[in-house]
């Protein structure tokens, strides 16, 4: 008997399409695991257009996996196109300064780039990274939304490279919307779930290779899941996360196609070569930066009576 397709974590529809199997992984958020995590499968909801991993770990298991004392999994000193775009947006939204909350601030790399006129706040589940952020970014950092002071509101809330890590993007946005000041905005950057090569390769697209990536939004999802329920799309923009030169992009495109069409062979050859060289298993696959496959959306929420 075949297993029924899962319900969408956002709209709860059972009308979803399986896009293929995702690889198991013994790495999570930069840490080698004692046991591999099952990759599951990638699905696309036919109602709200969310792409999502199923099955997933429990929220408590994810919290434990993220709180791993690592502070360099996502480097803060590298060039970040998304951070540059977000800083520009914030300067436009609140040019005279205001309260900015970075949800998933990690070690404070983004907050450190804000103008001194902005008050800096963060939420970070990794306790060691949160400690670093408090010092490096001179920010107030809490472990969860529930820990925020009841009356504290923010002019801008940033969710940069984080929304793909949560089970239900809509639920997260709804909770954060309650923390917006009057005329406040939420800025989201993440992989574009409707990217052309993603549509071509399905579950073999680089962005869903990582086990910590479980939900994937797109402009179509924003319009269906949010704009019909009181959200306003202020702006949206596609961008390239990295900017390799033309030659490197051509080489990476070749390897991206090899993984996209022959994932098992690619992983077997890659892991075999790394074993011969005395290195561990592959922790990434090619694709990052060869196209404008990332999305930035700026949202506001209609005040509810």
pLDDT in tens, 179-223: 999 999 999 999 999 999 999 999 999 999 999 999 999 999 999
Q: Is the pLDDT of residue 18 over 90?
A: yes
Tell me, what's the pLDDT at 1? 39
pLDDT tens figures, 179-190? 999 999 999 999
Distance separating alpha carbons of residues 170 and 166, to the nearest angstrom: 10
Q: Is the pLDDT of residue 299 over 60?
A: yes
Residues in CB range of 42: below 8 A, 6 or more apart: 18, 19, 20, 21, 22, 51, 52, 53, 202, 203, 208
pLDDT tens figures, 85-124? 999 999 999 998 899 999 999 999 999 999 999 999 999 9
pTM above 0.85, yes or no: yes
The domain 69-208+227-305 is placed in CATH, from the list 3.40.50.150, 3.40.50.300, 3.30.450.20, 3.40.50.2000, at 3.40.50.150
Alpha carbon distance, N-terminus to C-terminus of the chain: 48
Tell me, what's the pLDDT at 230? 87
Q: Is the pLDDT of residue 302 over 90?
A: no
Domain boundaries, the chain: 69-208+227-305
Q: At what angle do helices 246-261 and 263-276 cross, to 10 degrees?
A: 110
């Amino acid at each position: 008997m075949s297993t029924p397709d899962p319900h969408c974590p956002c709209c709860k529809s059972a009308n979803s399409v399986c896009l293929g199997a995702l690889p198991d992984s013994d790495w999570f958020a930069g840490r080698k695991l004692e046991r591999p995590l099952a990759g599951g499968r990638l699905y696309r909801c036919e109602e709200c257009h969310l792409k999502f991993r199923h099955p997933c770990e429990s929220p408590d298991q994810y919290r434990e996996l993220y709180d791993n004392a690592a502070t360099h999994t996502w480097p803060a000193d590298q060039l970040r196109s998304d951070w540059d775009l977000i800083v520009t947006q914030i300067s436009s939204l609140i040019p005279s300064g205001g309260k900015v909350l970075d949800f998933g601030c990690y070690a404070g790399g983004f907050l450190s780039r804000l103008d001194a006129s902005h008050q800096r706040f963060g939420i970070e589940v990794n306790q060691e990274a949160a400690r670093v952020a408090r010092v490096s970014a001179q920010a107030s950092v809490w472990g969860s939304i529930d820990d925020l002071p009841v009356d504290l509101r923010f002019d801008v809330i940033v969710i940069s490279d984080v929304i793909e890590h949560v089970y239900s993007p809509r639920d997260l946005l709804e909770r954060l919307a309650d923390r917006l000041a009057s005329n406040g905005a939420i800025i989201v950057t993440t992989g574009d779930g409707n990217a052309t090569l993603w549509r071509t390769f399905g579950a073999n697209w680089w962005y869903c290779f990582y086990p910590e990536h479980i939900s994937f939004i797109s402009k179509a999802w924003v319009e269906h899941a949010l704009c019909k329920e009181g959200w306003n799309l202020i702006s949206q923009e596609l961008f390239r996360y990295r900017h390799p030169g033309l030659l490197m992009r051509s080489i990476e495109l070749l390897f991206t196609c090899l993984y996209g069409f022959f994932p098992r062979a690619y992983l077997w050859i890659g892991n075999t070569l790394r074993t011969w060289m005395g290195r561990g298993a592959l922790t990434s696959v090619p694709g990052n930066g060869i196209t404008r496959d990332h999305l930035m959306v700026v949202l506001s929420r209609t005040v509810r009576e």
